Amino acid sequence: MKRILVTGGAGFIGANFVRYITAHTEVHVVVVDLLTYAGNPESLKGLPEERVELRIGDITDAKLVDELVSSVDAVVHFAAESHNDNSLHDPAPFVNTNVIGTFTLLEAVRRHDVRFHHISTDEVYGDLELDDPGRFTETTPYNPSSPYSSTKAASDLLVRAWVRSFGVRATLSNCSNNYGPYQHVEKFIPRQITSILNGERPKLYGAGTNVRDWIHVDDHSSAVWTILQHGAMGRTYLIGADGEQNNRDVLGSILESMGHERDAFDMVTDRPGHDLRYAIDASSLRNELGWRPQRQDFSEGLAQTIKWYRENRWWWGLLKTQTEERYSAQETTNARALAARGTEQ
């Protein structure tokens, strides 16, 4: 592969993948990104312009997608609306980007016989009980619980159907929760870090017992590159680094690392449909393709992530203000709706 198209390459995981590719290969990367609130061209700052090309555009634009796909050897599809809270507030963009966008890309790679890799999430499997010793595998039935995870499940099924029905050369991967630099401040770890850096008390949904399986974004990038090169067509590979921790412990570690007491946070009402536990069995990826995570020391990765946000306020400062204003407006709307329902009763 000499030239690849990365959709959503100005977003968190996509931009880190582009950085990984430019650091470890000679591949030319074309990034297509609509630059919505979650896409930031500054996340690609400093990369060699002769090897990284940014095209601003929508993956539901069939003409643009066809033009871009026709010029590359492979497509790595990161572009997605991905924040659960936002999907509960307005599901429409999730259906448009995650379902229609994926369909548009699949039709283009089918026309031009281009290799396709689809990035998905472990959230399509629903959740596990906190005391369940099991983990998600490639054969776990889909059981999505939010508009976000439902639209990602739909996009996964489209890819599988295009492989079987039309012979599209595609692989899929479902990854656990990523963390690292360039992550939007609406997400759990950067939201807590940036709140503390701003002198504010961080907030924790519910009791904080919900468990996530954390993986450093660099390990996700290396796994995707391994699958793109060596994965079996039509296969789904789960990507994880055995990083299960509950949200309360993660927040406590962040606070402690930043010089605060582990309980220096406020508890807020849990969000609707908050999944209890995610856990990934990545044995197929490890045993069949030989991939191994290199960043499994969570405390070290967390310290490096905190350091990055501390040193890069220029990247997140305005985003933080806008995000917190949006959350505040949503909370006000929700409170009014609850009050109105109470009056009606």
Q: 181 φ, ψ to 5°? A: -70, 160
**In the annotation, is 261 catalytic?**
no
Helix (H) or strand (E) run with residue 337 in it: helix 313-344
E strands present in 18-136: 28-33, 52-56, 74-77, 115-121
First-residue to last-residue Cα distance in the chain? 63
**In the annotation, is 42 catalytic?**
no
Q: Which of 33, 58, 81, 122 is catalytic?
A: 122
Interatomic CA distance for residues 77 and 35, integer angstroms: 15
Q: Which of 33, 58, 81, 123 is catalytic?
A: 123
**In the annotation, is 324 catalytic?**
no
Q: 68 φ, ψ to 5°? A: -70, -45
Q: 259 φ, ψ to 5°? A: 85, 25
Nearest to 154 by CA among 103, 104, 115: 103
CB atoms within 10 A of CB 269: 9
Q: Which of 148, 179, 237, 278 is catalytic?
A: 148
Place of tokens 């396709």: 116
Place of tokens 């055995």: 242
- Is the dihedral angle over the CA atoms 58, 61, 63, 66 positive or is it negative? positive
2: CB partners within 8 A, 6+ apart: 27, 28, 73
Interatomic CA distance for residues 285 and 275, integer angstroms: 25
Are the C-beta atoms of 174 and 122 separated by less than 8 Å?
yes
Token pair for 105: 């890309």
Q: What is the dihedral of CA 13, 15, 19, 22, to 10 degrees?
A: 120
Q: 121 φ, ψ to 5°? A: -135, 155
Interatomic CA distance for residues 282 and 259, integer angstroms: 35
Token pair for 10: 């100005």
Interatomic CA distance for residues 9 and 68, integer angstroms: 14
Positions annotated as catalytic residues are 122-123, 148
